[in-house]
Structure formats: C-alpha cells, structure tokens
C-alpha cells in the first residue's frame, strides 16, 4: 500500500525514519535527474542528492506540511550546488560522459529516435555549456517538470526573471543547435 505524501511527510516530521525512507525512495530518481543536469559530474550529482536528503531530514520540522515537498527538496539541492560553485570559484562544465540513450525515461517511437537522436545529443552538450542560472531553470522546468511559479519560489527569484532566463536559455540552445546542424 502506497501512502499519501502528506502522511509520509507528517510522520517523517515527527521522526519516523521509515516514512522518510519512503520519501527518499520516491523522490531520489527525480531529484537525481535534476541535479545531474546541473552538476559537474556523476560523483557530484550523487553527493548533492545525498546531502540534500540528509539536510531535509534534519530540517524537516521547519517544513510547512501544506507546501509541496519536491520544490523544497529541489531548493536545498540547488543551494548546495550554488555553494559548490561558489567554493570552486569557477563554473565547471558538465562532464556527464556516460549518458545512456537507452536509459532515457521518455520512450519515443523509432522514427522519433532517428529524427531526434542527433539533435538531443547536441542539445545535451549545449545545456552543459549553459551558465549556471540558465541551466538551473532548464533542469527545474524540463527535468523536474515544475511550473514557472514553483521555479520562482524555489530559486527565490521573480517570476519574470524565470521567464527571461528560460527564454534566453532556449534562444541560446536554438542557436547552438542550428550552428551545429549547419556545420554537420
């Protein structure tokens, strides 16, 4: 029997480790996907995902139960990544070299695969090369499937800034994609 998220959060807030473990099992794949898009490598993605959950476990008593859980989790993970970037003093480009096409969650038809495989490969490289702020909104929008409002609340930025970042990021990606396809 799968318990309602609200009940799990309520129990976890009161120190129920089993409830927290169910939340970990439920949200790790989604959080890892988002963090992976932003992190420099898989090792960093694992560390950030792990630390985000542990921070949540320690601060869950401050979480408002009527709020959405994933944006709260994503906010902590994003803050941890930003801290990492600040510490390293430079932005490290994503080096996720072993992205396996067959492990993709979306399962397009063979025709779509043939049509889009090359473009998606180029796009992954392009997203990796985006500045952190743009890459973050792309990850939260398309990997976490969050609304503009949720992204704004997660990143503590105005809604219009989210729109601007997404617009500029997509424009950059479009340009990058076209240049690469024309070169090819």
| Residue 1 C-beta: closest distance to another protein, Å | 6
**What's the CA gap between 168 and 12, in Å, rounded?**
39
| DSSP annotation of 143 | I
| Residue 45 C-beta: closest distance to another protein, Å | 8
Return residues touching another protein (CB under 8 A). Answer: 1-7, 10-11, 14-17, 19-21, 24-25, 28-29, 32-33, 36-37, 42, 46, 49-50, 53-54, 57-58, 66, 96, 98-101, 103-106, 108, 116, 119-120, 123-124, 127, 138, 141-143, 145, 170, 173-174
Q: 17-38 and 69-88 helices cross at what angle (nearest 10)? A: 50
| Residue 152 C-beta: closest distance to another protein, Å | 19
Where does the chain have alpha helices with state H? 5-13, 17-38, 42-59, 69-88, 110-128, 132-138, 148-155, 159-183
| Residue 126 C-beta: closest distance to another protein, Å | 10
Q: Which is nearer to another protein, 90 or 168 (CB)?
A: 168
Q: How far is CA 80 from CA 35, 38, 90, in A?
A: 10, 11, 15
């Amino acid at each position: 029997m799968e318990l309602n998220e609200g009940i799990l959060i309520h129990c976890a807030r009161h120190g129920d480790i089993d409830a927290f473990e169910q939340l970990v099992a439920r949200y790790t794949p989604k959080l890892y996907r988002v963090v992976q898009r932003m992190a420099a490598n898989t090792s960093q993605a694992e560390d950030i995902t792990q630390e985000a959950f542990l921070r949540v476990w320690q601060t869950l008593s401050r979480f408002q139960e009527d709020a959405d859980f994933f944006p709260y989790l994503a906010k902590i993970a994003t803050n941890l990544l930003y801290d990492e970037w600040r510490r390293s003093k430079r932005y490290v480009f994503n080096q996720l070299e072993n992205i396996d096409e067959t492990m993709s969650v979306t399962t397009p038809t063979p025709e779509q695969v043939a049509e889009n495989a090359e473009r998606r490969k180029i796009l992954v490289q392009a997203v990796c090369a985006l500045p952190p702020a743009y890459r973050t909104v792309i990850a939260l929008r398309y990997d976490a499937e969050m609304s503009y409002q949720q992204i704004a609340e997660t990143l503590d930025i105005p809604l219009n800034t989210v729109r601007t970042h997404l617009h500029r990021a997509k424009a950059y990606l479009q340009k990058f994609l076209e240049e690469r396809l024309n070169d090819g």
